[in-house]
Structures are given as C-alpha cells and as structure tokens.
Amino acid sequence: VKESDINKSSEEFRKYAHQFVDWMADYMKDIEQYPVKSQVEPRDIYDKIKNKIPTKSESLDNIFQDFKDLIIPGITHWQSPNYFAYFPANTSPPSILAEMLSATMGIQGMKWETSPASTELEEKMMEWLRDNMGIPKQWTGVIHDSASMATLVSIITAREVFSKYNINKEGFEGFTKFRVYCSEETHSSIEKGAKIAGIGQKNVIKITTNDRLELRHDLLLEQIKTDISNGYQPLCIIAAIGTTGTMSIDPLEDISNIAKEFKIWLHVDAAYAGSALFLPEYRYMIKGIKKADSFVFNPHKWLFTNFDCTAYFMKDKHAAINTFSILPEYLKTQTDGIVSNHCDWGIPLGRRFRSLKLWFVMRYYGLEGIQRKLRHHINLAIWLESKIIESSDFELLTPRGLNLVCFRYKPAGIKDEEKLNKLNEKLMHKLNASGSIYLTHTRVKGSFTLRMAIGQTNVEKSHIENAWILIKKAANK
C-alpha cells in the first residue's frame, strides 16, 4: 500500500465516519419513531440481499443507503425505551464510543503481549465490579462473551477439579455418573453447558421450586443424598439469582451450606440481576457467596454496556487456568508465568477489547449515576406493580422482582385457565404488532404470563404510563 492510499482511505473514513455518527446520534434521538419490534415477515430481508458478492468495489454511499433501506426494517429496536421484552441488552453513549475506538484499533487481546492494556484494564475493571458488588476480595474476574459461555466454563472447571484434571487428559474413564443440580426455573444455558461438557442432559436434575419459584433446598439435599447412595457423583450446583422467567432468587446461603457439606462445586448465575448488587440494599441476594466457586453476571444486560460483555468471577483462578491453558510453540511469549494471559482462562483463543467500554461507562456515570439509574428502573416497576394491584382486570402472577413485573389480564367473568391463556397470548401479539411497545411472556405454573422488564437505559415514567394505557386499551378491545 502506497502512503497516498493510506491518506486517501483515512480521509474517506473521516468523511463517512462523521456522516455515520450523525446518523447514530439521530437514531438515538428518534428511536421512538421506529416500531419497537421489527414488523418484517420471514425471508423479507434475506430475499432483498443480493445473491453474490460484488465483483467490483461499491461506494460507501450505496452500502450505507442499503443499510438504511434493507437492514433497518429488519431491526428490533432494543434501545427503544418502549422495549420491555426478555431482559434488556442496554447500551449507552460512552459504551458505543468505546466500541468505536476498540473497533478502530482492531486489537486481539489473547495474550498480555498482544496488547498489555487490554489485559490489565480488564483486570482492573473486574476489580471495580467485584469490589462494588459484594463479591469476595480474594476472587478474580475475567470477561467472557456470554453468561452461557461462563456457565459452560464453570461446569468444565468443576469437572476438571473433581477429576484432578484427568478428564482433560484421559477422557471420561471412571467418571460416568456425574450430576448437575439446578431449579426447574433456571436458564436453558445450564442444560446446554452440561450437554457440551459431556455430563449429559439427563444428568441435569431440576429441583422443584416453592410458590415463589425459588429452588427448594430441602429437596436439593434429599436428591443429593439419594444420588450418592445410588452411586452418582454430584458435581455441581447452579443457583439462580434472578431467574429469567420471573426473577426469583434461589436461597444461596442454604444452597452454599449443602455445597460445602458435600464438597460440590457451586456456580451462581446472576446474569441479569447481578447489576442490582451495585445497590447495597440488594446484596442480601448473594449471602453465602463466600462458599461458592464462581459467579456470573452480564453488564451487557442492565449495566449500560453494549453486548457482548459478561463478567465471570471465580474463587480460584488456577482451577480455570489448569483446565483451559494450552501452550503450543507459536503462542509462547517471554512474559509467560509473569502476567495474565486471558486466553488460558476460557475457551476461545481470540479476545475482544471489552474492558474499554466498561471503563468508559463506569467513569462516565460514576457509581452514583449507575445506582441512580438502577433505582429509577426499579421504582418504575414498583409503579406498574401498584397499578396492576389496584386494577380489578389485571393480576400479578408472581411478586415483582427488581424491575421485572409478571402479570396477566384477568377480567371478571373469565375463570377458565385455557381461555385466560389464549386471551393473554392474543393480547401480547396485538401489543407487539402495534410497534408501540414490545413485551414477551413466560409461564407461571402453567399460566400464560406477560413480562415487563423495565431496564432500557433511557426509560422514563412517561413510557411506563403510556405502556400501561396501551395494555389496558388493547385488553378492553
């Protein structure tokens, strides 16, 4: 490449970057004008994309135009303050700006030497999180791409610690009767992790929950004793702090005592609710954490940091390193053994520079700003909960958990459960098809349940008031 080419491409970049940033700022400003849930039909987008790579270079003007015309209609606008579906994947201006810088440098932080700042900022950011969330000081953190990945890493580490790192070397010989325990409400990533880790889906034992949908530790204890007497090897318990369906909180302290008594690995899945640990008044949720082995939460859900960014903390980093490290000749560096090489702490070799956006976000908002936003979201959910309690036509199906409200339409006169299920399903589809708000559902003991997760970065009282009006109107129709 001649120097003139570099100059030319940097000037072209400058021109388009300004134009794109203008579009980005407008998108943020005008986001409520888009239908929250994409209104396209299956294959609408696919059929509009050309079948072949262009032979000749195309102008960025054309590509950008197609982005606006072809891609945007197929986007569900997760950053709309009228987005209440699943859990949010919220972002924020400082996070986006950091991602722009990260993409520009295009570094790959697999080893310390491949960009020392990436590794060392990650170490520091994990400490900032740990120390502001009530995670034990002695624990070490690392960033993964998803909670699913972190849970898989935890299960595999448990397997290796149990087998004294023999399964890695020899395969499963002698270790064929592992069992993993979680509640019937825990996330599907646990089953997926157990499948991939070679434990087998049928060895994931789902413990019945109480009426608040929390794992019953008395039944867990019983199950473990029965399994041991039948020759099984209890490997790992996964406690959910904030289940995806209804935000129930498993009793970590009781579970941790069982884990300790039977020397079972304990992993804590706080993928969503973990962010609430920034608020001291919610730290009770992880009482017992000292007796656990690992903990995961997603700043990419409710901490204003765009996907992907999963924080994984572990009591003993050496267990993970012994499980995952592998050192072929071409990866040897002169600082091995002195510094952290995060490629040895998990599955992928390559690693994005994800700590940069956490650093930007935490500095931009500050601890107080983060806490203010989290409390604000919870207060909005409290407001909606009070409206549902007041209303004679709606009911809560579980007590509100943090900023998640689970409810259904239940007009006087309709008692039949199947009818109520159908009615609520129809109501949800109608609301989502309107493009004005987007919410999703779960089932609570069989009942079709609407979920509103109120955690988008910019959600305000007016959005919740408006959503409540829309829900009542659509229900009455």
Ligand X SMILES: *Cc1c(COP(=O)(O)O)cnc(C)c1O
Contact footprint for ligand X (CB under 6 A):
87, 146-148, 187, 189, 240, 242-244, 269, 271-272, 298, 310
Collapsing DSSP states into helix, strand and coil, what is residue 107? coil
196 alpha carbon, distance to own chain's centre: 19
- Tokens for 237, please give them: 């318990």
Q: Smallest distance from the beta carbon of 145 to ligand X, in angstroms?
A: 8
* Pick 143 or 271: Cβ nearer ligand X: 271
Name the E strands within 136-186.
140-144, 178-183
CA distance 251 to 262: 17
Q: Smallest distance from the beta carbon of 308 to ligand X, in angstroms?
A: 7
* Pick 120 or 184: Cβ nearer ligand X: 184
CA distance 123 to 141: 7
* Pick 163 or 186: Cβ nearer ligand X: 186
* Pick 98 or 270: Cβ nearer ligand X: 270
Q: Smallest distance from the beta carbon of 238 to ligand X, in angstroms?
A: 9
**What is the residue type of 320?**
A
Q: Smallest distance from the beta carbon of 292 to ligand X, in angstroms?
A: 15
- Tokens for 469, please give them: 């009006």
CA angle 311, 316, 317 (to 5 degrees): 60
* Pick 410 or 451: Cβ nearer ligand X: 451
Match 């267990």 to its residue by tokens: 319
Collapsing DSSP states into helix, strand and coil, what is residue 105? helix
* Pick 270 or 471: Cβ nearer ligand X: 270
Residue 204 has φ and ψ, to the nearest 5°, of -90, 110
User: In angstroms, what CA-CA distances link 103 with 299, 310, 345, 350, 356?
Assistant: 19, 18, 23, 14, 11
- Tokens for 18, please give them: 């300004």
- Tokens for 311, please give them: 């924080």
Q: Smallest distance from the beta carbon of 164 to ligand X, in angstroms?
A: 29
Q: Smallest distance from the beta carbon of 173 to ligand X, in angstroms?
A: 31
- Tokens for 21, please give them: 């940033």
CA angle 362, 117, 308 (to 5 degrees): 55
Match 């034990």 to its residue by tokens: 136
* Pick 77 or 267: Cβ nearer ligand X: 267
User: In angstroms, what CA-CA distances link 235 with 160, 169, 227, 266, 364?
Assistant: 10, 18, 11, 9, 42
* Pick 92 or 244: Cβ nearer ligand X: 244
Q: Smallest distance from the beta carbon of 144 to ligand X, in angstroms?
A: 8
* Pick 89 or 319: Cβ nearer ligand X: 89
Match 């790579």 to its residue by tokens: 53
Match 């009942």 to its residue by tokens: 447
Residue 233 belongs to what H/E stretch?
strand 233-240
| Residues linked to residue 178 through DSSP beta bridges, in sequence order | 233
DSSP for 243-294 reads -TTT--B--HHHHHHHHHHTT-EEEEE-TTGGGGGGSGGGGGGGTTGGG-SE
* Pick 273 or 437: Cβ nearer ligand X: 273
Judge whether 227 and 219 are in contact, CB under 8 Å. Answer: no
**What is the residue type of 402?**
L
Q: Smallest distance from the beta carbon of 63 to ligand X, in angstroms?
A: 29
Judge whether 158 and 262 are in contact, CB under 8 Å. Answer: no
* Pick 163 or 355: Cβ nearer ligand X: 355
Around Cβ 205, how many Cβ atoms within 10 Å?
18
| Residues linked to residue 183 through DSSP beta bridges, in sequence order | 207
Q: Smallest distance from the beta carbon of 362 to ligand X, in angstroms?
A: 20
Q: Smallest distance from the beta carbon of 248 to ligand X, in angstroms?
A: 10
Q: Smallest distance from the beta carbon of 281 to ligand X, in angstroms?
A: 21
Q: Smallest distance from the beta carbon of 146 to ligand X, in angstroms?
A: 3
* Pick 207 or 420: Cβ nearer ligand X: 207
